[in-house]
Amino acid sequence: MSIQEIIKQFEPRQHNLLNILHALQDIHPQQYLTEDALDETARYLKLTKSSVYGVARYYTMFSLQPRGRYIIRVCASAVCELLKVNSLIAALEDLLGIKTGETTADHLFSLELSECLGQCQEAPSMMVNDQVFNNLDNERIREIIGQFRQTAAGS
Ligand code: FES
């Protein structure tokens, strides 16, 4: 689907801005908002480009940079922090060979931090795209990353 086809699924009302940005980011294989996508959105909703860019920059769920096929969002909020999520983040960085905020050279994984994922009772937690993973430890993280690598290799 083209950018225009996606945008036209929504009524041209300003309250649809976030929904349109989500839809445009989701259809891009590198899960980010391109300049064209932002410009077309501004035109369609009769908003200034700077206001659309401002919204896209404000929300951490949007990216203006190409990202990996799998976006890992590790909860860095209070409960997970208490449960030593920092050592898990370090383990993920080692495993993936990147720092938080970066994307692997093969464009498979991006590593990001997140606010509370609402999974505190089973913390520490992270999401990979739309999937939630709880009760994490180093071994579980290795398994999860291994599974996603296998899936990618088989597709
Ligand atoms: S603090 Fe991490 S899931 Fe709530």
Domain boundaries along the sequence of the chain: 3-58, 70-153
Round to whole Å and give the CA distance between 59 and 40: 19
Give pLDDT tens digits for 47-105. 999 999 999 999 988 999 999 999 999 999 999 999 889 999 999 999 999 999 999 99
Ligand 1 neighbour 82 (Cβ under 6 A): no
The pLDDT score that the predictor gives to residue 1 is 86
**Domain at 70-153, CATH class:** alpha beta
* Segment 104-129 mean pLDDT: 95
| Closest residue by Cα to residue 128 from 139, 40, 140, 12 | 140
User: SS3 for 9?
Assistant: coil
CA 127-95-64 angle, 5° bins: 55
Question: Which pTM value belongs to this model?
Answer: 0.81
Ligand 1 neighbour 3 (Cβ under 6 A): no
Place of tokens 């990202």: 67
Ligand 1: centre distance to CA 120 (Å): 4
The pLDDT score that the predictor gives to residue 83 is 85
Atom of ligand 1 lying closest to residue 116 CA: 4
The pLDDT score that the predictor gives to residue 135 is 96
* Segment 108-124 mean pLDDT: 95
Round to whole Å and give the CA distance between 81 and 6: 39
* Segment 94-119 mean pLDDT: 95
The pLDDT score that the predictor gives to residue 8 is 96
Atom of ligand 1 lying closest to residue 79 CA: 1
